[in-house]
Structure 1
C-alpha cells in the first residue's frame, strides 16, 4: 500500500465519504435544462450484476418494461460503482451495456442509484452520453428524514420516481421551494413472479412436519433496521422452545456486520428452534426457501418498499410484518398481518440510519407472537393463492 493510500485509509470514514461524493458532485455532468422530452432510446441503469435489493429492483424494472413492449436496454453500473456481492453467473443478463458504451443523443435513462451516488453514476456514464437525455432517478429510502448527502442527487436528475408513497413523501420534503421540479411520482416495483427451484425442506435441513417461519435480511443493510431480534423474541413468545415450531434467519454479509451480528447470533444460538442460514443464495433457491416455509416474518423498523414481503405474498405465503413504511402500499388481503407499532427515534449502531431527527417503528412483539400463533393454528392461511400486487404503468409514468 502506498503512503498516499495509507493516509487516505487513516481518514475518518465520514470524511472519506464526503470527499468522494462531494468531488463527484462537482465533476459530474449536469442534466440538460430545460428537461428534454425523452424521445429516443430508453435505458435502465443500475447494479444489474449485484446480488442486492437495489440490483434486483433494476433487473425487475428492465424485465417488466420489456414485457410491456418498451424496448429498454440495461446499463450495468456494478463495477463502475464497486457494488456487490456479485450475482451468480447464470442470473446475469449478458445484453447490458457498460457505462462507456451508452450511445450519445436524446433518450431517457432511469437510474436505480440512490441520491449520494447519483453524481458518481453520471460521472461514470460520461458527459457525452448524458448530454440531451432525460434523467429519472428511481430512489428508495427507509427513514422519515433524508441524510444531507442525498441532497446532491436532486441536482443530478430531472425527476424522481419512488417505489412507495412513504418514499415519495420523504423525497418531496427537500423539494419545497424548488420551482419547476416535478413532485416525486410513485412507480411501484413490478409484481414479483417467483420461479422457485426444485429445492425443498430437506435441502435446507428443515423438518417436514414443523411449522416454519422465515425472516430474510442482509446483515450489512443495518440489522437494527431489519430487526431480526424482534423476530426471535416474537417466535419465543409464540412457541417457546417447541421443536415443532422453527424460525429460520436467512441472511448474508455477516462477516462485515461485526458486533451487531454477533448479538443476533448469540440470541439465535440461545433458542434451540432458531436456525441461521448464512449464504448468498441464487434467486430461485431463495424463492424455494420462501415457498417451503409457512410464514414470512418481517418486524422491520422501516422499509422503503419491502421486496421480500411482496415475494412471499406472490408465492401465496402469509406475512407477519410491521404495519409501517413502504410495505403498507401493498400488504393487504388474506394472510397479511400488519403488526401494530409505535414511533421511536431512529438509532442505528451500524451508523447507516443514525440521523438526529429521524424516527422509525418499533413493532409490538406480543401482537406479532399472537399473529404467528394464529397462522400456525389455521392451515387455510398457509395455502393461499398468489397475491395480486400493484402493477406499474411505465408508459404513463414516462409520459408524465
Structure 2
C-alpha cells in the first residue's frame, strides 16, 4: 500500500469513525494536524507550465465553488488548456451544483499549473486527497478569499504547499500579506461571466423589489441580512407596492438564522424568504424581479451578489467597507456609511474578538431605498453606470490576460496536450 493510499485511508477512518464524535474545534485540530504532516508537497522548483488545472469545490453551490467555475470558464474561453478536479465530496461538502462541465484532470501527472480554490486550512487536506503522484511536479497557486483584516493562525500551515497566491481585492491582499512568507501575491480581477443585457428599464407595473442574497454557511452575522430587512421595513413598512426578497442557502449550517430572519420579517406580507438552492436560470429569474440589490454586510472579501447585481444594471446599496469598495463607488452605486465594531459571530467561524468589522447605518440605507424608489431616473443612471463599470472590471478576458502576463507565460509558448480529455458533466 502506497503512502498516498494510506493517507487517504486514514482520513476516511477519521471522518467516518471519529470526526462526528468530536467538538467542532477539536475536529479541525485533529484533521488539519494529520493532513499537514502526511500530505504530499510539490517540489519547490516546479514552474508554471501547461496544462492549467482548476481544483476546488466545482460542484458546490457556494462562493468558493462559483469562483472556481468562473476562473475555469474564463481561462478556457481564452483558449488555454484547462482541466478541473472536483473536491466537493472529498472536502465533506454537499454536491449541489451539478450542471458544470469540465475536462477531468485527475489523470494529469507530471508538470502543470494548479489554481487551488480552497481555503487555507483545507490546503493540506486537499493535497492529501490529490495524492503524491499528482502533486509532486505541479506549480500550486492558491486562489484565496477572506473577509476580515487578518487571516486566522490556522491558514499559515498552508504556505509550505504553495508557490504563489492570488486574490481578487486589495482588502484580501492586505489580509494575506503578513503570512505569505515572500510568496508572490497577485491581485487579479474576478472573472464574472454573464451573457444577458443589463437592465436599463424598470417596470412600473409590479412592486418595487429589493433583494438581499447570501449564504448562511458563510456566516449569518457577517452577511447581516437582518439589517437589510430592518432598512426595508424602516423605508416602506407594510406597503404592498414595495417588496423585499431574502434569498438564502445552506440554512442547515446554522438553523437559528432562519428563525432570526422570520423574527426580523415579523410576518410582513411584502417580505419573501426563499431558502431553495436555485440554478443559474433560477437566479437570473430572481434578478429580473429585482430593482435594487442591498448588502449591509459587516465584511466581504469580494461581494459576489454586489458584483452580479451591478453586471445586470441594478443599483446596489451596500456597506462602504472591505472587498467591494474596489468596484462599488458613489458613481456606480450607493455606499452606506458604517462604524467599526468588535467581531461577534455566533456560528464560530470568526473567533478573533480583537478584530473589527462594519456595522452599516440602517437609517442611511433606508433613506437610500426610498430615494431610489422615488427617483427612477437616478435608478436608471446608477444601474447603467454600474453595468458599464462591472462589464469592464469583471471582464473574463481581463482576468485571463492578467493571469497569463503576471503568473503564467505568453500564450505562444503553451503546448496543448494532444490527448482527448474526459468530459465530466
Same fold flag (TM > 0.5): yes
Counterpart contact for 1:194–1:314, Cα < 8 Å: no
2:288 is the counterpart of 1:296: no
2:55 is the counterpart of 1:45: yes
2:164 is the counterpart of 1:167: no
Candidates 243, 261, 266, aligned match of 1:264: 261
Question: How far did 1:195 drift?
Answer: 4.6
Correspondence 1:1-400 to 2 at 5 A: 8-34=19-45, 36-87=46-97, 89=98, 91-97=99-105, 101-175=106-180, 178=181, 180-182=182-184, 184-193=185-194, 195=196, 208-332=205-329, 334-383=331-380, 384-385=383-384, 386-389=387-390, 390=393, 391-392=398-399, 393-399=402-408
Counterpart contact for 2:49–2:408, Cα < 8 Å: no
2:359 partner SS: strand
> Which whole-Å deviations, capped at 9, do the CAs of 1:172-214 have from their partners, x for residues lacking one?
0223xx3x422x2111211331559xxxx9xxxx995211100
Matches of 1:218 and 1:311, distance apart in 2: 15
1:309 partner SS: helix
Counterpart contact for 2:84–2:102, Cα < 8 Å: no
Relative to structure 1, the CA distance from residue 95 to residue 347 in structure 2 (aligned partners, 3 Å threshold; closer, same or farther) is: same
2:325 partner SS: helix
2:407 partner SS: helix
Matches of 1:76 and 1:208, distance apart in 2: 44
Matches of 1:381 and 1:283, distance apart in 2: 29
Segment drifting more, 233-242 vs 308-317: 233-242
| TM-score normalized by the length of structure 2 | 0.84
Counterpart contact for 2:88–2:95, Cα < 8 Å: no
1:134 partner SS: strand
Matches of 2:121 and 2:250, distance apart in 1: 22
> Which whole-Å deviations, capped at 9, do the CAs of 1:91-138 have from their partners, x for residues lacking one?
2215333xxx23211111010011000111111111111112110000
| Gap runs ≥5 in structure 2 | 1-12, 410-425
| Gap runs ≥5 in structure 1 | none
Matches of 2:102 and 2:167, distance apart in 1: 27
> Which whole-Å deviations, capped at 9, do the CAs of 1:127-178 have from their partners, x for residues lacking one?
1111121100000011112222111111221111001110011000223xx3
Counterpart contact for 1:226–1:300, Cα < 8 Å: yes
> Which whole-Å deviations, capped at 9, do the CAs of 1:360-391 have from their partners, x for residues lacking one?
11101111111111110121344433233323
Runs of 4+ in 1 over 6 A off after TM superposition: none
Counterpart contact for 1:114–1:153, Cα < 8 Å: no
Matches of 1:300 and 1:220, distance apart in 2: 14
Counterpart contact for 1:212–1:245, Cα < 8 Å: yes
2:217 partner SS: coil
Question: How far did 1:327 drift?
Answer: 0.7
Counterpart contact for 1:302–1:324, Cα < 8 Å: yes
Matches of 1:194 and 1:41, distance apart in 2: 27
Counterpart contact for 1:241–1:271, Cα < 8 Å: yes
> Which whole-Å deviations, capped at 9, do the CAs of 1:288-335 have from their partners, x for residues lacking one?
211221000000001111111111111000000011111111113645
Q: How many residues align?
A: 381
Match of 2:412 in 1: none
Relative to structure 1, the CA distance from residue 31 to residue 356 in structure 2 (aligned partners, 3 Å threshold; closer, same or farther) is: farther
Matches of 1:367 and 1:53, distance apart in 2: 28
Q: Which has the higher contact order (CA 8 A, sep 6+)?
A: 2
Relative to structure 1, the CA distance from residue 5 to residue 82 in structure 2 (aligned partners, 3 Å threshold; closer, same or farther) is: closer
Matches of 2:96 and 2:301, distance apart in 1: 23
1:388 partner SS: helix
1:375 partner SS: helix
Segment drifting more, 11-20 vs 187-196: 187-196
Matches of 1:218 and 1:125, distance apart in 2: 28
